[in-house]
Amino acid sequence: MATLTLLQAVNDALRTKMRQDDSVLVFGEDVGPKGGVFLATEGLTAEFGAKRCFDTPLSEDGIIGTAIGMAANGLRPVCEIQFQDFIFPAFDQIVSEAAKLRYRSGGQYTAPMVIRTPYGGGIRGGLYHSQSGEAYFAHTAGLKVVIPSTPYDAKGLLIAAIEDPDPVLFMEPKALYRSVKGEVPEGHYTVDLSTTRTVREGKDVTVFCYGAMVPVCEKAAAAAAEQGVETHVVDLRTLLPLDEEAVLDAARRTGRVVVVHEAPRFCGFGAEISALIAEHAIEYMEAPVRRVTGFDTPFPNTLEHHYMPDERRVLDAIEATASF
């Protein structure tokens, strides 16, 4: 079993499926011979040729529109949007076309396609290369929204996304691309979509997180344990469809909940977790649900380390929730 970075695991997943299935194509801006701005597709053109891994014009709506047409005609395109911040010119194609194709055609057509895109902060990319827009897309029926946080999950979830019969937005936390490593099996395996992952067992406070916030919450939980607070950390992995029962079970387990994400607080995904618990598990709650998030401002450059939740902010929330 190889030890890979999250970035290498993404590449391995693409390579595995392309070897297995000739209908899998990879394309986007600079993903061909260059291998993408982060090198996630490095070596794919050399192995599979320019007909299966190729560059596109700088046109996000064109990339997604092309993928929809391919998917509706029997191919399984995996297209890359170079930064999630650039996805908005293709917003209509994603939410009004790809996500609606099965419903509007009465099941005659589907869009088995994956949109890969790096998101979030952590590389000092400033306001145009650091946004976390998952909440925009989690509001869209017919779409799946997946965010891995480990190399094992990155490969298994991406293969599952490619094999899924409906469109999947696969958001990759670029802060973790090279900063986390883990054992990844060779060959084909999948991690089921719409499942959570228990990162750490605990009985006092439950923390829900995803993406780049998972290792942050792990560190905060370890610090809390030194003070006698046992934190139950859950990686959501798939935001849409969300494993609601797993979320509720984890919330009921402790009766105290903290939700962490780097996207802005207002209408962020943490609000949905809070509402779900309020509607279905309020009688188990011993404290208000606390959110630790980015701020309701554009993403800053020099102040990136203040904007993104860190171990101290998460630990403060855990302590406050535990002592409420």
Residues with a catalytic annotation lie at: 129
Fold of 197-322: Rossmann fold (3.40.50)
Q: Which residues of the chain have pLDDT under 70?
A: none
pLDDT value of position 259: 98
Query: Where do the domains of the chain lie?
Result: 2-184, 197-322
Q: CA 120, CA 132: separation in Å to the nearest integer? A: 5
What's the pLDDT score for residue 54?
98
CATH code matching the domain that covers 2-184, chosen among 3.40.50.970, 3.40.50.920, 3.90.1150.60, 2.102.10.10: 3.40.50.970
How far apart (Å, rounded) are the C-alpha atoms in residues 4 and 181?
5
Record the pTM: 0.97
At 314 the pLDDT is 98
Residue 281 CA to chain centroid, in angstroms? 26
* CB count in 10 Å sphere of residue 174: 27
Helices (H), the chain: 6-20, 44-48, 60-72, 91-92, 101-104, 134-138, 151-163, 213-226, 244-254, 269-280, 304-307, 311-322
Looking at residue 145, what is its pLDDT? 98
Return the SS3 of 167.
coil
**In the prediction, which pLDDT does 302 show?**
87
